[in-house]
Amino acid sequence: MRVLLIEDDPRIVRMVRAVLEDAGYAVDVASDGDAAWFEGDTQDYDAAVLDLGLPKMDGLAVLARWRAAKRDFPVLILTARGSWAERVQGIDAGADDYLTKPFAMEELLARLRALTRRAAGRASPVLNAGSVMIDTRKMRVTIDELPINLTTLEYRCINYLMHHVGRVVPPGELMEHLYSHNHERDPNAVEVLLGRLRKKIGVEIIQTRRGFGYIILEPHH
């Protein structure tokens, strides 16, 4: 899962970025409206956290331009406490949720998890496919109820595929959602990562569709 964090206060950026990365997200940062609009318009994100008071272009204008360009990833806006008018404007402009400053990091993470779940059509914070289960609140992966120890990148990979169960995910898309913008991307790295992951969770769970990508099949009821 890859998130765009748009905030011009370096202290908040450091704090939020660290928390998001600890929670298994790849994080890109933009500190002004122009950079935010460009990143959101040219890169693939699972969600954006958008502060409204930005230099160069305000957050509402950034959001309106994304939505006009059919960029439909979920957006969580950050607003000043008590500014209900800003919140209304933000939701009218296409925001999916809002959080008032100062906020608890746990609430930010919970809201992001909910937004990415809803965007993928998943209602529950616990994702299941056959014997595999992910509790996204705890970053906990189990196979037949036995916990599996994964690296952050392995977790990010299985989490993305589980959010898109039943759909073939092309290698390029998977790579876009695994790594932040400044990370050097090697197409072979995805194959190596999947090889490690399959050793831990079982080779049959993530299937390869030659020439198309990777899929975790819908569980049979």
Neighbours of 24 (CB within 10 A): 18
The token pair that represents 62 in the structure block: 């950034």
Domain boundaries, the chain: 2-119, 126-215
pTM over 0.85, yes/no: yes
Contact 24, 139 (CB under 8 A): yes
Q: pLDDT, tens digit, for every residue of 71-121?
A: 999 999 988 766 778 778 888 888 999 998 889 999 999 999 999 999 888
Q: Which residues have a Cβ under 8 Å from the Cβ of 16 and sit 6 or more positions away?
A: 5, 7, 49, 105, 108
Q: State the Cα–Cα distance between residues 56 and 110, nearest whole angstrom.
A: 30
The token pair that represents 219 in the structure block: 């569980």
Q: pLDDT, tens digit, for every residue of 165-213?
A: 999 999 889 988 888 876 666 778 888 999 999 999 887 889 988 889 9
- The overall average pLDDT reported for the chain is 89
Which CATH architecture does the domain made up of 126-215 adopt? Answer: Orthogonal Bundle (1.10)
Which CATH architecture does the domain made up of 2-119 adopt? Answer: 3-Layer(aba) Sandwich (3.40)
126-215 and 2-119 share a CATH fold: no
